[in-house]
Structure 1
Amino acid sequence: MQENYLIDILGRQKVDDESGEIQVTTLGSYVKKGNNRYITYKEYDNEENGKPITSVLKIEGTQKVTLMRGGADGTRLVLENGKRHLCQYDTGYGHMMVGIFTSRLHSSLTDEGGKLEVRYTLDINSNLSSSNEILITVKEAENKDVKISAAGNQ
Structure 2
Amino acid sequence: MRENYWINIVGRQKIDDDVGEVTLTTLGSYVTKGDTRFIVYKEYDPDRNNAATTSVLKVDGGNTVTLMRGGGNTRLILEKGKRHQCQYDTGFGALLVGVFTSEVDSRLHDKGGELAVNYTLDINADLSSINEILITVKEAEQKDVETSTASH
> Is TM more than 0.5 here?
yes
Structure 1 gap segments, 5+ residues each = 149-154
Q: Work out the CA distance in 2 between the residues paired with 1:21 and 1:90.
A: 19
**Structure-1-length-normalised TM-score:** 0.91
Task: Tell me the equivalent position of 2:88.
Answer: 89
Q: Work out the CA distance in 1 between the residues paired with 2:46 and 2:76.
A: 23
Structure 2 gap segments, 5+ residues each = 148-152
Q: How many matched pairs?
A: 146
Q: Work out the CA distance in 1 between the residues paired with 2:109 and 2:136.
A: 11
Task: Select the structure with the greater relative contact order (CA < 8 A; seq sep ≥ 6).
Answer: 2
Counterpart mapping for 1:34-113 below 5 A: 34-72=34-72, 74-113=73-112
Letter in 1 for 2:30: Y
Whose Rg is larger?
A: 1
**Structure-2-length-normalised TM-score:** 0.92
CA shift for structure 1 position 47: 2.1
Q: CA RMSD in A?
A: 1.7
CA shift for structure 1 position 34: 2.5
Q: Work out the CA distance in 1 between the residues paired with 2:52 and 2:34.
A: 28
Question: Secondary structure at the residue paired with 1:30?
Answer: strand
Q: Work out the CA distance in 2 between the residues paired with 1:53 and 1:33.
A: 23
Q: Work out the CA distance in 2 between the residues paired with 1:84 and 1:48.
A: 33
Q: Percent identity among equivalent residues? A: 65
Task: Tell me the equivalent position of 1:16.
Answer: 16
Which segments of structure 1 move beyond 3 Å, counting only runs of 4 or more? none
